[in-house]
Amino acid sequence: MSSDDGEYVRRMADALRSGARMLADHCPVCNNPLFEIGGQIWCLKCNKRVIKVKGEEDVEDALTSVTLTEVVKTLTAKVEELNLVLKRAADPEEIGKLAETVKTVLETLEAASRLRRQFTKEEES
């Protein structure tokens, strides 16, 4: 057994101990079993979320949902990065530019979060 296989088996065991449920479905990429964790479907081998779609028309909705989630995660990480730079800044001009950038990123983050919430509500309807 390779170290990658051992890591995969460990992740599966940890997931099952934590209440995950192994599904009869398999990953479309690696063909390993999928797991339901917290209401989401995951491939623990690929370490990626899997979204089931019923038809071609659902693919665009699924991609939009995933993309909005990723945008929110990325913007949140950027706010954290900017905060670290802002903490070290001493020059008033640099602080002003950083503060303006943080404001812009936070506004964009709020808009992306709002869109994601709106899109999620539409999917549930």
Domain edges within the chain: 3-50, 56-124
Output helix, strand, coil percentages for the chain, rounded to the nearest 5: 65, 15, 20
Indicate whether this model's pTM tops 0.85: no
pLDDT over 70 (residue 8)? yes
Nearest to 20 by CA among 59, 54, 49, 62: 49
Which pLDDT tens digit goes with each residue over 36-47? Answer: 998 889 999 998
User: Could you tell me the strand order of the sheet in which 40-43 lies?
Assistant: 21-26, 33-37, 40-43, 48-50
Is residue 102 within 8 Å of 125, Cβ to Cβ?
A: no
Nearest to 65 by CA among 55, 53, 77, 79: 53
pLDDT over 80 (residue 55)? no
d(CA 42, CA 33): 9
| Least confident range of 41-50, 70-79, 96-105 | 41-50
pLDDT band at 62 (very low <50, low <70, confident <90, very high): confident
d(CA 115, CA 119): 6
| CATH code 1.10.3470 for 56-124 | no
| AA identity, residue 2 | S
Alpha helices in 3-91 (DSSP H): 3-17, 56-88
pLDDT of residue 107: 97
